[in-house]
Amino acid sequence: MMESCVTHAPSWSSQQMRGVSANQMPEMKSSQEVVIVIIINMSKRKVKDDHMPVGECITQVQSILRERFCHQKLPEKPQAVEAQHKHLLELLKRTAIHGESNSVLIVGPRGTGKTMLLKCVLRELLGDKEVQKNMLEVHLNGLLQTDDKIALKEITRQLHLENTVGDKVFGSFAENLSFLLEALKKGNRSSSRPVLFVLDEFDLFALHKNQTLLYNLFDVSQSAQAPIAVVGVTCRLDVLELLEKRVKSRFSHRQIHLVSSLTFTQYLERVRTQFSLPGSFPDAKFAQEWNASVKTLCEDKSVEEVLQRHFNSSKDFRSMHMLLMLCLSRVSVAKPTVNPSDLLEASRLCLSDAKADMLHGLSILELCLIIAMKHLNDVYEGEPFNLQMVHNEFKKFLQRKSNSMYNFEQPVVMKAFEHLQQLELIRPVDASSAKTQREYQLMRLMLDHSQIMEALQKYPQCPTDVKQWAMSAFG
Amino acid sequence: TPRHATPSIPSRTLAARQPTNVLEEARTRLHVSSVPESLPCREQEFQDIYSFVESKIIDGTGGCMYISGVPGTGKTATVHEVMRCLQHVADVDEIPPFNFVEINGMKMTDPHQAYVQILQKLTGQKATADHAAVLLEKRFSSPAPRQETTVLLVDELDLLWTRKQNVMYNLFDWPTRRHARLVVLTIANTMDLPERIMINRVASRLGLTRMSFQPYGFKQLQQIITSRLNKVKAFEEDALQLVSRKVAALSGDARRCLDICRRATEICEHSAPDPSATGLVGMSHVMEALDEMFSSPYITAIKCASVQEQLFLRAVIAEFRRLGLEEATFQQVFVQHQALCRVEGLGPVGVSEGRAACQRLGACRLLLLEPSRLGLLQRVRLNVSQDDVLYALKAD
């Protein structure tokens, strides 16, 4: 069971990195949920005695921390965004209670907690009984609702308007639109229920034809109709420039910017809190030990160095969660604590260069061709090359050596060249490849010198003469 | 059954709360949706449209009018007010009764839907677009005794453009029929729309009755806000003047002006030490609201970027300086990036790390990038001016 968790986890988190929140992909979650249910069942049996066996403690730790890292579990209170939180909460409250129509955009780079902020605000807002009874919610995602037609059906479905039967929406696109607009027009500020529209990936809605949906939503929010609040979530800073003039004029120009102004000490602190167990952990002694070990981990010099490197490269929380997740997956019954070496290993995995790893898997001939291409690039300053030139360069190398070990036939070289193309280590200059013969097609190398040299150093049993050839400045 | 459904939004269980203090009252009045009884600063335009439509109704003839102006200058509101007044006059039998039909180019999915909507609003019939066009053609071309004049308002006219322009042609051709008694008022943003997108026979039918709404000046904007507030004392004089001057200088969009005022009341409410004793909205609150709405987010975004991302931006500028161009491939920038890393005393940066930084900057549009499958050959451009980047990086 443990093993299955470990192997599945990275794929989920990568799904979420792409901005698809977990509740829109129920089938992705189900297997993890089954695992959690089993874990909970197991823990209930033994909850009477205070000290649980190490195995169960570890399962608990895994389930708690996994939920935190992979499922983006909402924290108790959003950190470092109090002002934005208050602004958004007040705004939505006014829509819910006073019936004031509003529109707002939440803008910030990926992984700065836009959706987290919004969800926290909604949780707090819906905690109010009065609001919960009155407010209607419509959630749209630019990746799912790829055109206005689908978006309209989704709105009608989520609002349970009268032209829906069950989950099916009747009528054509035009009828749906006029039906929805008519419905919103009939409403008024004081008597109809306010509707909250959440548009995730807002910038994709701006690519729809004529921006009809946005125009109509903003228009309703600026006219005396049913009260609505439009909340857009996007990572593009230039999102307002995507809007048409008349759409832009109707938008209220409220933007909530989220930027992570984290310092390194705050980052370290956050790593510690993210990795620590909560006070409600069933086995208090284990939790204490775990938290102490996490504390010593964060004070370790080498760990600090690694974290500094990650902090320098990006401040977003998803990459931090990724790192911690890789670290966590090395915890097992045999080794119930995290060591600095785990974190170092996880960081190595995170930072490893995919292209250089690919080079390790090549044959000697393919590697030789890559080196020949590198030399061609050096000599002709990045001009494109074809197979003939590469082969000639390779032949020059062979001539200088008495050893005829690498004397391959032309078709074999061609095969190797094609293999490189399939791996996209080289790329045709122009896409119209049908006209020219394969030997004469112009190509470019997609590797940096540093990648080639690094791969050569690490290549298992690389022949010395090949290495020397690569090092030499001129072919 | 869905066929005969009446569109509606469910009504709320608890009535909406009414405003309790001065600021909330002001906020309700300043909301764009609360259109006042009479529009200030548009008296001349009101008069022109009014007399045009009135004369057509009294004479029982038809005609077209084209109204243009940038968004937020009160075009639609003025026309609506004219129609309200005329309706009022018709109710007391001073002019013959008339129909008023309104369509909006943005509120339909396809230009041909215009026929469907007009027919439905005139007669309540539902029909397909082609059939509706035939029915309307018949209605407007055949003489009928005691037919009322129809006033048709076409908002966002430019959206009705089709390749053959037959929708626009029909809309402007019907009023020229003898028995049609149709007055078409069209609204769009650009002044030269008829010359730009219409073919000659359409433009000639539209005629030369045109009117353009100028953007509001600062005095007018100030007057609009004061008339909206209607003696609710929530703003200092100077604060109002600042808002109207700023907006007038930028766009002259009344919606923007009202939104900023509304935001300023919120800021005022938050900054007050206790909620009962909020003062007037002053200069500082308005300044903050203006900053929020007009400031560009790029500079803060650059300031808050991670170290590698900032280095990458510096590398981009360095490479642009070296090349003398405003465009470079990732590979060229990366060489500079590595050099900068060495200068800064950071560890060597890998290609994938550099590319990740580049992609992140591209995702929030500080950089403009080609598709990422081009790898190292991907070309990079700045989406912000170099001065902005340098300012943001230097400031700390």
Sort out which chain B residues have CB atoms less than 8 A from A195's CB and list them: 9
b/e for B27-41, b at 16 or more Cβ within 10 A? Answer: bbbbbbbebeeebeb
In chain A, where the domains are located = 82-257, 264-351, 356-474
Average pLDDT over residues A455-466: 87
State whether residue B334 sits within 8 Å of chain A by CB. yes
Which positions in chain A touch B347 (Cβ < 8 Å)? 309
Whether residue A192 and residue B106 make contact (CB cut-off 8 A), yes or no, is no
Other residues' Cβ atoms within 10 Å of the Cβ of residue B188: 22
A93-146: pLDDT as tens digits: 999 888 889 999 999 999 888 999 999 999 999 998 888 888 899 999 999 999
B375 and A446 in contact by Cβ < 8 A? Answer: yes
Contact B53, B211 (CB under 8 A): no
**What would the pLDDT profile of A55-95 be if each residue is shown by its tens digit?**
888 898 899 999 988 888 888 777 778 888 999 999 999 99
pTM of the model: 0.88
- Is the CATH number of domain A356-474 1.10.10.10? yes
User: Which residues in chain A have their CB less than 8 angstroms from residue B189's CB?
Assistant: 245-246
| pLDDT at B263 > cutoff 50 | yes
A340 vs B272, residue with greater confidence:
A340
**Gap from B58 CA to chain A (nearest CA, Å):** 32
How confident is the model at residue B3, as a pLDDT?
53
Residues of A in contact with B26 (CB under 8 A): none
CA A21 vs CA A12, A13, A140, A144, A369: distances in Å: 11, 10, 11, 11, 44
B-interface mutation test, from A85, A98, A172, A349, most B Cβ less than 10 A away? A98
Chain A contact for B263, CB < 8 A? yes
Give the torsion sign (CA, A18, A19, A22, A24).
negative
Distance from the Cα of A102 to chain B's closest Cα (Å) equals 9
Average pLDDT of the segment spanning A372-391: 91
Identity of the residue in B14, B297, B366 whose CB atom sits nearest the CB atom of A134: B14
Structure tokens at B378: 């991907």
Nearest-Cα distance to chain B for A352, in Å, is 8
Interface contact A222-B255, CB threshold 8 A: yes
Is B287 in the A-facing interface, judged by CB distances under 8 Å?
no
Given pLDDT bands bounded at 50, 70 and 90, which one contains residue A14? very low
Q: For residue A88, what is the nearest residue in chain B, using CA coordinates?
A: B266
Fold matches, A82-257 and A356-474: no
> CB contact, 8 Å: A33 with chain B?
no
CA nearest A192 in B: which residue?
A: B11
Taken in order B274, B275, B280, B281, the sign of the CA dihedral is positive
What is d(CA B377, CA A242) in angstroms, rounded to the nearest whole number? 27
Query: Collapsing DSSP states into helix, strand and coil, what is residue A141?
Result: strand
pLDDT tens digits, one per residue of B149-171: 999 999 999 999 999 999 999 99
Which B residues, 15 through 34, put their C-beta within 8 Å of a C-beta on chain A?
15-17, 19, 24, 27-28, 31-34
Q: Which of A399, A388, A398 is nearest to A368 (CA)?
A: A398
List residues bridging with A5 in a β-sheet. none
Query: Which of the residues B12, B13, B370 would you substitute to probe the A interface, choosing the one with the greatest number of A C-beta atoms within 10 Å?
Result: B12
Over residues B33-55, the mean pLDDT reads: 90
What distance in Å separates the CA atoms of residue A282 and residue A93, rounded to the nearest whole number? 37
- Give A315→chain B minimum CA distance, Å: 6
DSSP letter at B295? Answer: S
CB–CB of B351 and A448 under 8 A? yes
Nearest chain A residue to B72, by CA: A249
- The pLDDT of residue A356: 83
Residues of chain B positioned with their CB less than 8 A from the CB of A162: 2, 5-8
Q: Which of A391-400, B67-76, B267-276, B293-302 reaches the highest mean pLDDT?
A: B67-76
| A259 closest CA partner among B167, B298, B316 | B298
Q: How far apart are CA B149 and CA B175, in angstroms?
A: 10
Per-residue pLDDT tens over the stretch B274-330: 666 667 888 999 999 999 888 888 999 999 999 999 999 999 999 999 999 999 999
- A162, B383: Cβ pair inside 8 Å? no
Chain B nearest-CA residue for A252: B259
In the predicted model, what is the mean pLDDT of chain B?
89
Binary contact (B297, A219; C-beta < 8 A): no
Mean local confidence (pLDDT), B339-361: 91
| Partner residue facing B363 (CB), from A109, A309, A351 | A109
CATH node for A82-257: 3.40.50.300
Sequence-ordered alpha helix ranges (H) in A352-433: 354-360, 364-379, 387-400, 410-422
* pLDDT at residue A47 in the model: 46
What is the three-class DSSP state of A182?
helix
Q: Which band of pLDDT confidence, cut at 50, 70 and 90, is reported for residue A25? A: very low
Instruction: Return the structure tokens found at A46.
Output: 């033994």
pLDDT of residue A26: 45
Alpha-carbon distance values, A36 to A43, A64, B286 (Å): 10, 9, 52
Q: pLDDT digits over B173-199, tens only?
A: 999 888 888 999 999 999 998 888 888
pLDDT attached to residue A21: 44
Bridge partners (DSSP) of residue A230 are: A103, A197
Q: Determine, for residues A446 and B377 on separate chains, whether the beta-carbon distance falls below 8 Å.
A: yes
Query: Is 60 exceeded by the pLDDT of residue A232?
Result: yes
Taking contacts as CB-CB distances below 8 angstroms, the residues of chain A near B298 are 237
pLDDT of residue A15: 44
As a whole number of angstroms, the distance between CA B132 and CA B103 comes to: 15
Q: Residue A133: list chain B partners with CB under 8 A.
A: 12-14
Q: Tell me if residue A228 falls in helix, strand or coil.
A: strand
